Amino acid sequence: MWDKFKGDPLMGFIFVIFGLIFLVPGIGYGLSSPGGLPGPGAGFFPTITSALTVFFGLWIIYDGLKKGSVDYFGQDPEQRSNFKIIAVVCAAFIAFLLIWVYINFFLGIAMLSLFYNFIFKRTWKFNLIFTVVLTGMLYVVFERLLYIQFAL
């Protein structure tokens, strides 16, 4: 029974929640301007758009339950196993962000590149050359030429 809710109805539900999160404070911002100033208030526009988001979210839930939803992730076992890779990729990305914030950006990028190439099963030679070229180019173009500071 729960299977019916997988996919589109779940997404539709997320849209409804999203809309509600904006709708409630939106009404609080006031639908007309304070002090008799002309024009609608700060809450006018977000109230309308978030209400419509809720509306279409509900429509998606309805369509999803009635007509069946799009198959989000497919049945192919080879593809589903890619989920693991994506999870590792995301975790590595978070690690990269932490290295950037606490240590150094270029170190982080280099580690990211080394790690990703490793996961994707590239040869060590390719991995090292690619990482050096990538980090080098980023350093030259961004930090030297454009004066963009990556240090936070």
Partner 1 sequence: MKLNFFKACKAAAVGLSLAACVGAVTNAEAAPNFPRKQIQIVVPYAPGGASDVVARIYGKELEGVLGKPVIIVNRTGASGAIGLESVKNARPDGYTMSYMPVESTMLKALGIAEVSSDDFDFVCRIMTIPAAITVSADAPWNTLDEFLTYAKENPGKVLVGNSGSGSIWHVAAASLAKAAGVEFTHVPFDGAAPAIAGLLGKNITAVAVSPAEVKANVDAGQFKVLAVIGDAHSSVVPDVKTTRELGYDVTAMGWGGFAVPKGTPEEVVQILSDASAKVAQSENLKSLLKERGFEYAPLTGTEMDAFAKDQLDQYSQLIPELLGKK
Partner 2 sequence: MDMSLWWDSFLAILTPEVLMFNAAGVLIGIVIGALPGLSATMAIAILTPITFWFDPSCGFAMLIGVWNSAIFAGGITAILINTPGTPASIASTFDGYQMYRQGRGGLALGINVIYSAIGGIISTLFLIFLAFPIASFTVSFGPTEYFMLALFGLMMMISVSENNVVKGMAVGFAGLTLSTVGIDPILAVKRYTMDSTSLAAGISFLPVMIGMFGLGEVLNQMYEYKQSTAGSALEMLKKASAKLGRILPTWKEFKQFFRPTVLAGAESTIIGAIPAAGADIASIICWGQAKKLSKNPDEYGKGSAEGFAVSCTSNNGVLGGALTTMLTLGIPGDAVTAILIGSLMMYGMQPGPKMFTEDTGFVMQIMQLMILSNIAIVVFGLLSAKMSAKILNARPQTVWVGVTALCVVGSYALNNSFSDVLLMAAAGVVGFIFKRGGFAPGPFILGLLLGGMLESNLRRALVMSQGSLDIFFERPVTLVLMILIALTLCFPLIKKAVLKRRKAA
Question: Residue numbers of the site for partner 1 (CB under 8 A)?
Answer: 35, 37-38, 147-149
Site string for partner 2, 4-33 (x = CB under 8 A): ---xx--xx--x--xx--x--xx--x---x
Q: Which one of partner 1, partner 2, none interacts with residue 110, CB within 5 to 8 A by kind?
A: none
Joined tokens for residue 31: 């639908």
* 130 φ/ψ sector (left φ>0, alpha ψ -120 to 50, else beta): alpha
Least distance (Å) between residue 147 CB and partner 1:
5
Closest CB 132 distance from partner 2, rounded Å: 13
CA–CA distance from 94 to each of 16, 110, 112 (Å)? 29, 14, 10
3-state secondary structure of 32: strand
Residues 30-89 that bind partner 2 (CB under 8 A): 33-34, 37-46, 49-50, 52-53, 56-57, 59-60, 63, 69-70, 72-73, 76, 78-79, 82-83, 85-86, 89
- Buried b / exposed e over 51-69, threshold 16 CB at 10 Å, is bebbeebeebbeebeeeeb
Angle separating helix axes 105-119 and 124-138, nearest 10 degrees: 150
β-strand partners of 40: 32
Closer residue to partner 1 (CB): 37 or 86: 37
CB nearer to partner 2: give 4 or 122: 122
Residue 8 contacts which entry, partner 2, partner 1, none (Cβ below 5-8 A, type-dependent): partner 2
Q: Report the 10 Å Cβ neighbour count for 81.
A: 9
Q: 2 or 35: whose CB is closer to partner 2?
A: 35
Q: What residue 35 binds from partner 2, partner 1, none (CB within 5 to 8 A, per partner kind)? A: partner 1
